[in-house]
Each structure stands twice: as C-alpha cells, then as structure tokens.
Amino acid sequence: MLSRPKTPHKTMNSQDIDLVPHRRRNPLTGQWVLVSPHRLARPWQGRLEATAGPQRPAYDPTCYLCPGNARVGGEVNPTYQQTYIFANDFQALLQDVPTLGDADPLFARQSVAGQCRVICYSPRHDLSLGQMDRAAIRGVVDLWAAQLAELGQQFKWVQIFENKGELMGCSNPHPHGQIWALDALPSEAALEDRHQADYRQQTGRVLLVDVVQRELADGARLVVSNEHWAVVVPFWAIWPFETLVLPRRHVARLTDLSDAERDSLSDLLKRLLTKYDGLFDTSFPYSLGWHNAPYVPGAEVHWQLHGHLYPPLLRSATVRKFMVGFELLAEAQRDLTPEHAAQRLRELPDLVGA
C-alpha cells in the first residue's frame, strides 16, 4: 500500500507562486484553473506541429475569399478593395427554424435561430490581421461595430471571432473572421453575464473595470497598453499565452467606442499581434473573439466589453497545448504562470513605429 505524502501547511508567499501548484479562480465564469509551474522542467516527447509554409501570394486564383473569385456555393466575390462581408455559404445557424415544444427535464432542447457571416479583412491573400497597417485594421474595427449594431437589433448575442491558422481549424489562410448571431445567450456568455451582474450587485462596480485598474497598477501581467486600452495575460488564464483585451473605461459594446478609442484599438491590436508573431518567429495561430454586452435589458450596466485571445502554442512554434485527460475530466490546467507568459510577451518588440 502506497504511503500518503505529507503536505506541509504553510502560507504561500509571492516567491512560492512560481514554484508550487495552486489554483486560480476566473471571476468571469466562476471556474478554476490548476497552475503547475514546476512541470515546465519536464522534457517534451509529444507531437511537434508543422511550422507555417512558404510566403503566400498577394492574390491566389484558387482562394474562394480573394476578390473576383468564385466561392464554393457558386457566388462570385466582387473585386473589393478593403473589407468585404457576405453570408456564410455553410451556416451553422438558420434564420427560419420550427419551434420545439420539448419540456423534458432530462433531455431538454430548444429552438435557436440566427445568422452566420464571413468578414474578409483585406483583399490581400498574403496578410494577417497583425500584418495589416493601422488604417486597414481600423476598417475592420469599424466593420465589427457596424455589424454588431445591425445584428443586435434582432439577436440577443452577436459573436465576432477569428480562427487563425490550421492549428485552430482555419481552412483558408486568407485574412478573415466570422460573425454568428443568435436569439439565445450561449453558455459562455450566460456565465459571464451572471457573474458580472452578481459583482455589480454586490459591489456597485463593474468587474472588468476593477480588473483593468488592478492590472495597470500591478503590471505583472500587463503585456501592452495605450491611452484607452490594456492587454493582460489574465490571472486565471488557461491557454499558455492567452490574453484579455480591455478598455480602460466602462464600455459595454464596440458600438460605444469613440473615434479615438477605435484608433487606439487598432494600434493595440497591431502591437499585440506583432508580439505574438515574434514569440516563436512564426505566424502565430489563435482564436480571437469579442464579448460585447448581450442585447438583453439592463446588460449595459454591469457588462464590460472585452476581447479574448486564445493561442494554442506552448513551448515553441511546433509544440502546442492539448486539452486532454485531467483538463477534460476535472478542470483546466497550465504549467507556465500567467506572470511569466506576460513577461515574455511584454519584452518582445511591437513595431510601435510601423
């Protein structure tokens, strides 16, 4: 019979945090993550991912997102010069769906209606969002806001997101994102809504406004900032180099941003994505998404606009993190502390003058 290891009972200090396992709570969702920084010393003998291929051409005649080309469904793209948006040819949501009257408590289901759209960020096939200039990124920000304003008139939740790179399931390297709008709150949005509302009720303050103020004052998890925005590796981060994009003031939605704040966001995204590409000297894969206040009564009071950026790479351009085993069966786990991840990103150049 194996003997039980004795666990010393002592208070963890700031030096211990980088050496011993501990758990951290995500105040947005109430979920916990196990942090095991001592495991970084273990050797890696698992899968190595392929790095990015050769430089792409500015125009690809076989790409269904390039200007003037035919898409899979037969529609032909216009010869667009900036951004371009169209209805997804293979939508995950449909506008007209029958009503489900099922009230089974064990096997509950409900109808959901929505729309799915694709946003081409640029006519250039060889660019990524981070490689575009600030004026072009500002055009993407404006389109995000315009689409949010339009779809928010009809739907409760508008999810703006981008999957970049094959590691994140992206099937086309042309710079593009998506928008899914639906008449229900998805699970993650519902969790964030409830916890932000609870925090507002208990404290009278906005949760993520308090977070950004604390992060700016502390600086340990700050990656990049400017007059209106800050990017941090959140205290509760799950993915190794996960970041959270936060306005400095209380803002519910992208549509509420001033002209100066939109310019500042374009600058911030340029700098952040440049850092990511420099981390392992590769076109860094990620999933990027915006969480705006849902279109339900009163949400603007407690909700803070924020962007999540989830990149999968862990140790190099060829080693990724997998959510398996303990993560699937118990709770999320990470080895690299958020403080160390933020430091590594913070120290990278961001081409401020580009």
Q: Which residues are catalytic?
A: 176
CA-to-CA distance for 207 and 306, rounded, in angstroms? 11
In sequence order, what are the beta bridge partners of 87? 117
Q: Which long-range contacts (CB under 8 A, 24 or more apart) does 236-239 make?
A: 236/24, 236/25, 236/26, 236/27, 236/28, 236/33, 236/338, 237/33, 237/334, 237/338, 237/341, 238/33, 238/310, 238/332, 238/334, 239/310, 239/311, 239/312, 239/321, 239/334
Lookup: tokens for 327:
């993560």
- Decide if 116 contacts 179 (C-beta within 8 A): yes
Three-state DSSP state, 217: helix
CA-to-CA distance for 188 and 180, rounded, in angstroms? 14
Question: What order do you get walking across the sheet with 114-120 strand by strand?
Answer: 84-87, 114-120, 176-182, 157-164, 286-291, 306-310, 243-247, 229-232, 222-225
- Decide if 31 contacts 331 (C-beta within 8 A): yes
